[in-house]
Amino acid sequence: MTRPAISNFARARAIMIRLQKHLLILIAIAMTLVVLYQIAARIGGFSVRWTEEFARFLSIWATFLAVPILISFGRLINIDFFHLAMPPRLHRIVSYLQIAVSVAAFLTLFWVGLGQVQATWRQSSPGLLWPMGLFTLPIVICSVLSLVVVPDWIASARHPGNESDMEKYL
C-alpha cells in the first residue's frame, strides 16, 4: 500500500509537533526533578528560592507549547454540544468562523506578546534573575506555532472525522 503524497509543509509541521512533544517530556521531567529537589531541601531544613520560580517558568512554557499540538489534533478543550448538533453545512460555517476568530486571536496575541516581551526584557525575575521577557515569550512562540498548524484545523473542519494531512504522516 502506498502512502499518499504529503507536502513539505506537512512534513515540517509533523517534525515541529514531534519536537514539541519531546520538549514537553523534558520539561515535565525537569519540573518533577526541581519540585523533588525543593521538597528534599525543605525536609533538610533549608529553602532554595529559585526552585519555585523555575517550576513556574517550566509550567508556563509547557502550557503554551502544548496548545499547537492540541489544536493540530483537535484535542483542545471546547464545548461543542450545540456545534455537533448543527446541520452539516452550518457546522462547517461555524467551524470556519471559529478558525478565523482564532487566527485573529493568534495574530493579536503575537503582536501584544511581542510588545510585552520587549517591555519586560530588561526586568529581572526575583528568584532566577532571568529576564522577565522569557516568561512572556511563550505567548509569542505559541501564537506562531498555532498559526503553523491552522491547515490541520482547516482540514478537520472541511472533512470532520477524517485524518488531517499531518496525521497520515505521523
Longest dimension (CA), the chain: 64
Directed axis angle between helix 133-148 and helix 150-158, to 10°? 40
Flag whether 169 is in a domain: no
DSSP β-bridge partners for residue 131: 124
Flag whether 146 is in a domain: yes
Domain that holds residue 35: 8-162
Flag whether 83 is in a domain: yes
Flag whether 155 is in a domain: yes
What's the pLDDT tens digit per position in 2-60?
A: 556 678 888 999 999 999 999 999 999 999 999 999 999 999 999 898 999 999 999 99
Flag whether 168 is in a domain: no
Number of domains in the chain: 1
Q: What does the block give as the cell for 91?
A: 457546522
DSSP β-bridge partners for residue 51: none
Containing H/E element for 4? none
CB atoms closer than 10 angstroms to residue 129: 9
Whole-model pTM: value is 0.84
